[in-house]
A and B are shown apart, each in its own frame.
Chain A
Amino acid sequence: MRQLPYRFSRKTQTLRAAALALLPALAGARLPPAAAGADDAAARGAYLAATAGCSQCHTAERGAPYAGGRVLETRFGAVVTPNITPDRRTGIGGWSAADFAQAMRWGIAPDDSRYLPAFPFPFYNRLEPRDLADLKAFLDRLPAVSRVNRAVAPQPFAAARGAVAVLAMDLPGPWRPDPGKGAVWNRGAYLVATIGRCGDCHTPRNWLGALDPDRVLAGGIDGEGHAAPDITPDAAAGIGRWSLGDIVTLLEDGQKPDFDFVGGAMGEVVKSTAGLDDADRRAIAIYLKSLPPIGSSATGSPQKARSSKKD
């Protein structure tokens, strides 16, 4: 069933988040243990923040990192990114772990205002509680920068479209591993579905602006308005002919199997995926190769038709 995020009991949310805030750093440390549990949590959070590229959006041109102020032209109108440094007055310094989890998962600020249309973001909605706690542990250690958030002029029509898209999408909350699959597959699936947010560009959207649940990763439109290819193992339009190593190389170096090097939006993504552990790049590759091939009707056929006419 479709779940409406705003009908969720806030008490349940808060309880869940609070419980989770108590157990960061208890389970399986992938990174080498540094010193105390809090250091581990912050180090894991730093890894996640680098993978997500948080600072790419939350930093203004020539501004202080993570202090916000960059104007993003989204599908649903312009938004200005907020200050996420731990400044108590202008940033998120006064936030509890539960506040942070609620904002990240459901787009609800501590003062009960909403982060529409940017949040709730269907990918961050699925982040595991421990990862949210780790991200906060990392952000808490950033230097506090005082920079007052500013707003853009209201865009009622775009905002309404954004709200409709959010309501039309599944926001199932924390990702649950598939017990029928191995740990590596589950890790890859999780990275793709959450922090990597591959589907934001590579999954097509329906007329409401919601991600099409039947064509996940079958090719969409990137943030610059250009075609993002099918990345399911379809032999013609997708990555069916790519080896695991080909995918790992793309994520590490931005190099495609024909030695073309990606640019544009994917070039930006590679700046983040280049910093991943090799094991995580491999996990992503294994997961992508395991998907059912779909084939992009949007980007595959028209181009094929065009090139055959020319040749």
Chain B
Amino acid sequence: MTPSAKRRLLGAVWTIGIFAAVAAPAPAPAQDKQAVLKERQTTMKQQGRDLGRIKGYLDGTADQSAAVAAATDLTRTTGKIPDLFPPGTTGPSPDGKYQPKPAVWSERTKFLDVQKAAAAKAEALLAAVKGGDKTAVRTAFIDLGKNGCGSCHTGFREKLKP
């Protein structure tokens, strides 16, 4: 083997090694997992509060700018749902009420489809809130809740047994 061939071979080995390290991250250490579980629930609760602010706008107890801020936040948080469910982070929510179904990871494509649909519904809700037509806001609000949040809570969330 010539020196230059050796260098090329070494380079290839290094490249493969780096790719392997990046592509297959080790499972999250225990304390990271707890942090993920916590952030997961915190984010979902935040989404609930955002929906509450939009409901307040519908009921006339919050103004439009507050609803726009809440809907904007929902487009951000529905978009980051995949990051809240990294591999190896199953386990009960900090309040002990729910846990993800294994399908979150075993049927990742389906899970991501539901998540993308929810994110699109959040965008639609934001557009409706900006438009200011409350009938349209209500329709988009229920669509996000029922068919976005609700469909994920049906296929991918499990209530813990007593």
Contact = CB atoms under 8 A, between A and B. Distances in A.
A310 interface: yes
B153 A264 contact: yes
B74 to A, nearest CB: 11
B150 interface: yes
A6 interface: no
Interface string A247-278: 00000011100111111100110100000000
A268 B95 CA distance: 24
Interface in B124-162: 142, 145-146, 149-155, 157-162
B151 to A, nearest CB: 7
B11 interface: no
Given A226-B158, A227-B161, A253-B145, A261 B153 contact: yes
Contacts of B49: 259
B48 interface: yes
A267 B52 CA distance: 20
Contacts of B108: none
B150 A310 contact: no
B158 to A, nearest CB: 7
A296 B159 CA distance: 15
A303 interface: yes
A264 B96 contact: no
Question: Interface extent on A, as a size class?
Answer: 20 to 34
Interface string A278-311: 0000000000000000001011001100110011
Contacts of B146: 253-255, 261, 270
A153 to B, nearest CB: 28
Contacts of A255: 51, 145-146
B96 A263 contact: no
A221 B159 CA distance: 11
B97 interface: yes
B55 interface: yes
B153 A267 contact: yes
Interface in B74-111: 92, 94-97
A264 B94 contact: no
Nearest to A302: B162
A227 B162 contact: yes
Given A253-B145, A254-B146, A310-B96, A262 B161 contact: no
Nearest to A308: B96
B153 A263 contact: yes
A227 B99 CA distance: 13
A219 B161 CA distance: 12
B162 A264 contact: no
Nearest to B50: A259
Given A254-B150, A255-B145, A303-B162, A263 B155 contact: yes
Contacts of B96: 303, 306-307, 310
A267 B154 contact: yes
Interface of A: 219, 221, 225-227, 253-255, 258-264, 267-268, 270, 296, 298-299, 302-303, 306-307, 310-311
Given A260-B149, A264-B153, A307-B95, 16 more contacts: A226-B161, A227-B161, A253-B146, A258-B48, A259-B51, A259-B52, A259-B145, A263-B152, A264-B157, A268-B154, A270-B150, A303-B95, A303-B96, A303-B160, A306-B92, A307-B96
Those 9 A-B pairs whose CB atoms lie nearest each other, nearest first? A263-B153, A263-B154, A259-B48, A261-B149, A259-B51, A306-B96, A261-B150, A226-B159, A307-B96
